[in-house]
Structure 1
Amino acid sequence: MRHFLCIFIGCFWLLLPLCAQSNKMIKELENKRGALQKQIAESEMLLKTTKKDVGSQLNGLAALTGQIEERKRYILAINNDMETIDRELSKLERQLVRLQSDLKDKKKKYEASVQYLYKNRSAQNKLLFILSAKTFSQTYRRLRYVREYADYQRLQGEEILKKQEQVNRKKEELQGVKRAKADLLKEREREKEKLEVQEKEKKTLVANLQKKQRGLQNELNKKRKEAAQLNARIDRLVAEEIEKARKRAAEEARKEAAAAKKASGQGAKATTSSGNGAKKAAPLETYTMNKEDRELSGSFVNNRGKLPMPVTGPYIITSRYGQYSVEGLRNVKLDNKGIDIQGKPGAQARAIFNGKVAAVFQLNGLFNVLIRHGNYISVYCNLSSASVKTGDTVTTRQTIGQIFSDNADNGRTVLHFQLRKEKEKLNPELWLGR
């Protein structure tokens, strides 16, 4: 009895990894969804608005649309997880069939060996079998055969115990994955119901705005004018930063050429040919970089898709990059050079990567910050205060100022964020990790 108990315990520990594989997979999926679920739950508190004016309702529509997009993204994640779990279920079912087939085969072989031993069960028969040998070597071989057959039967029993435990564990694993799938189905239905409620709320808000077409256009014209003024200022500062970088690179090249001349003892002609002449021919749009800028640019590119959100706390992306029409509203087209991110009142803007503050300026009473990351520039707008100044070195996730909260619009707190490569405008969402 003690011998078989030891066999069972040994099999149990060998089989733990089988069940752990699916549990680990399910846990990883839950963790990924958990981050999305937390983001949605926290951002729901940003949707409240009680104002009835057009500007507030338009802002509320943007926040609600952002929340709907987040929920759709979460439902898509659930669908992807469902497909992963379905594949895992199919794999487990195939494994279970194989294990059951192996168990059946081993039981059949064990039954045959038991029947044989039963027919030759007496010690007298075994002794006669051994002593009836004609030579001593044959006697020895028969003695070994009897012992080995007994060992073979014992090992068969152990294999059956092991295989039976594998079957039981695989069944438990299969049931666990099925429960996870059932829970996921319920979660998806709950999210779909919430999405339907928000879609209806959005339709109501759109209908109210449609009745205020003139006020809506006035509000949009005001926003476009402010955006154009801001972008013109940013474009000018970016051009200045490009020129500064070009001069830094030219100075570095001049020093390297002077050092090379001194080392080789070449004449003034070589000095002139390796000086500023070639650099002056380079167009202003080319962000010529020195060694430090090149290294920082390379690090920045390697973190594409993994950069932190430029706001602290819960957030909703209320306006996306590029040109697009607002669903349900006639003649309402938006052109965003970056993205708008709504956070909680008191939220801070933070640097998305290591860099140097290229500019801090005020426009319409609000602060705006440009940070250079090699030949990339991140732009943070709509700050009520800035905690950095031009020339400061910043690190990833370092807070650089407080985002303005509009007390006239229920404390609405929105960061306008842009990303540039030289003068090229980039879609920040492709660079941020979410």
Structure 2
Amino acid sequence: MAYKNPLYKILLIIAFTLVGGIVFSQNNKQKQLETRRQELRREIQKINELRNENQSKAKSQLSLIEDFNYKISVLSNLIKVTNQQANLLTREINANQNKISDLRDELKALKEDYAGMIVKSYKSKNQQSRIMFLLSSNNFKQAYKRLQYIKQYSDHQKKQGETIKLKTEELQLTNSRLLKQQEEKRVLISENREVQKTLEEERKQHETVMASIKKDLNKYTAQIKEKQKEADRIDDEIDRIIKAAIAKSNEKAGKPASSRSFALTAEEAVLASNFVSNKGKLPWPVERGIVRLGYGTQPHPINKSLTIKSNGVRIATEKGAIARAVFDGEVSEILKMKHVNPIVMIRHGNYLTIYKNLSEVYVKKGDKVKTKQEIGKVFTNPSNGETILSFTISKGFVTENPGSWIYKM
């Protein structure tokens, strides 16, 4: 039999080691995909909760399009991740089916070999034949070797029986795993069908709203431009304040006022270092929310010829939501502009976090704040029921993507 060949055994061990590594890698990938799938499901739940909360309010067409775009994006990602899970399960199912086939073949060969040993043992089981086998030796050395052979044969027979038992258990375990995987795949496919239906419904509603907008595109284009102009005005004022604060810190430290970065004290340098070491782990600036608008320059969802310049993220949250500091720091400014809701700026060494669109402010300039400390209440628009916090992170006056800093944003 091939499995008696030492080289075959070595190759078999290597093969099982490689297969084990692949299985571990696949299990790890499956866990990552499942974690991501659950995150997306929670995201959709938050979107639905916020929609239900504001369903009695008449949202603007622009807000509706943003809502549809975001939910369509999350649903599409959920379908993609679920398909990846189903495909990975298909590969695992195929691998287990092949493994079951191989195990059955191996068990068949083991049992045939074991049966042969049992027959052979039965034929030579009487004590007299064993004694005669020993006594017929030509010398003591040969007798000793024959005695060792009898013992080894008996041990091999026992090991063969144990191997059959272990292989049978492995086969049963693999069968159970296969049935579980097939059920998991069935559930995933069923859930994906429901998500597909929801996605199609969202797309149809999106198309209806877009058709309505296109009838009067010039009016909406003017609104978009006005909103961007207002956002630019606020960002320009924030830049002016930050540059003035940088110049003041350098002047105080006896450095050129033209420097583009803060002159840090030893304490501020430590704070900045701690802020950086927590990159990707900072808490959200609100307890519950979804990112309605991401960071960076991007085409507008209604008029692709227009661009949105976003220096931070816009987070949709629930009515009465409280804005909170994402890290220890000092309130560097409470900004109040005409026709603009209050803005809180918190400095973390040479970094700043900026919280826009507050209705109430709970801190004052110069206050030391701690991570997750409440700094104000987010404004809720009475006409459409939307509660939006605009949140920015900058190093000096150069903005950075909050998605790289906030945990799972």
TM (norm. structure 1) is 0.78
CA distance in 2, matches of 1:306, 1:156: 54
> How far has the Cα of 1:404 moved from its partner?
0.5
Residue 241 of structure 1 corresponds to which residue in structure 2? Answer: 245
Which residue number in structure 2 is paired with residue 382 of structure 1?
A: 357
Deviations 1:119-162 (A, max 9, x none): 32333322332343455665555444334322321221111101
Deviation at 1:341, TM superposition (A): 1.0
Match status 1:433 vs 2:407: yes
The amino acid across from 1:210 in the alignment is: K
* 1:29-68 correspondence runs (5 A): 29-47=33-51, 48-49=54-55, 56-68=60-72
| 2:163 counterpart (143, 159, 174) | 159
- Report if the CA contact (8 A) 1:63-1:316 is conserved: no
Say yes or no: does 1:395 pair with 2:353. no
2:315 corresponds to: 341
Distance in 2 between residues matched to 1:122 and 1:25, nearest whole Å: 58
Distance 1:426 1:396 in 2: 19
Structure 2 length as normaliser, TM-score? 0.82
Which amino acid is the alignment partner of residue 336 of structure 2?
Q
Q: 1:77 to 1:290 in 2, by over 3 A?
A: farther
SS, match of residue 346 in structure 2: strand
Q: Distance in 1 between matches of 2:173 and 2:371?
A: 47
Show the counterpart of 2:258. 283
Deviations 1:3-37 (A, max 9, x none): xxxxxxxxxxxxxx99x978887566434422321
CA contact (8 A) 2:340 2:357 kept: no
- In structure 2, the partner of 1:295 is 270
Equivalence for 1:188: 192
Over the matched positions of the two proteins, sequence identity in percent amounts to 31
In 1: Cα distance, 2:403 partner to 2:87 partner: 26
Per mean C-alpha deviation after superposition, the further-off stretch among 221-230 and 88-97 is 88-97
Partner residue of 2:14?
none
Provide the residue aligned with 1:149 in structure 2.
153
Alignment pair present for 1:420 and 2:394 = yes
Q: CA deviation at 1:84?
A: 4.0
Extract unaligned runs of 5+ from structure 2.
1-19
In structure 2, the residue matched to 1:228 is 232
Q: Which runs of structure 1 show a deviation greater than 6 angstroms over 4 or more consecutive aligned residues? A: 20-25
Other structure's SS at 2:196 match = helix
Give the letter aligned to residue 335 of structure 2.
F
Distance 1:136 1:319 in 2: 91
Q: Spell out the pairing of 1:170-209 with structure 2 (5 A cutoff).
A: 170-209=174-213
Which of 308, 311, 321 is the matching residue for 2:286? 311
Tell me if the contact between 1:377 and 1:421 (Cα under 8 Å) persists in the aligned partners.
yes
Q: 1:184 to 1:142 in 2, by over 3 A?
A: same
What is the correspondence of 1:342-381 to structure 2 with a 5 Å cutoff? 342-363=316-337, 364=339, 366-381=341-356
Mark the CA change 1:323 to 1:28 in structure 2 (over 3 Å): closer, same or farther.
closer
Q: Where does 1:61-80 land on structure 2 (aligned, <5 Å)?
A: 61-80=65-84
Q: Is the 8 A contact 1:325 1:332 kept in 2?
A: yes
Q: Distance in 1 between matches of 2:360 and 2:285?
A: 15
Residues 30 and 88 of structure 2 are in contact (CA less than 8 Å); yes or no, is this contact kept in structure 1?
no
Provide, for residues 97-125 of structure 1, a one-character-per-residue CA deviation record: whole Å limited to 9, x for no partner. Answer: 55445434433432331232133233332
- C-alpha separation in 2, matches of 1:204 and 1:385: 37
Gaps of 5+ in 1: 1-16, 251-275
Pair 1:120 & 2:124 matched: yes
> Helix, strand or coil: the match of 1:366?
coil
The AA in structure 2 aligned to 1:352 is V
Q: How does 1:81-160 map onto structure 2 within 5 Å?
A: 81-89=85-93, 91-93=95-97, 95-96=99-100, 98-133=102-137, 138-139=142-143, 141-160=145-164
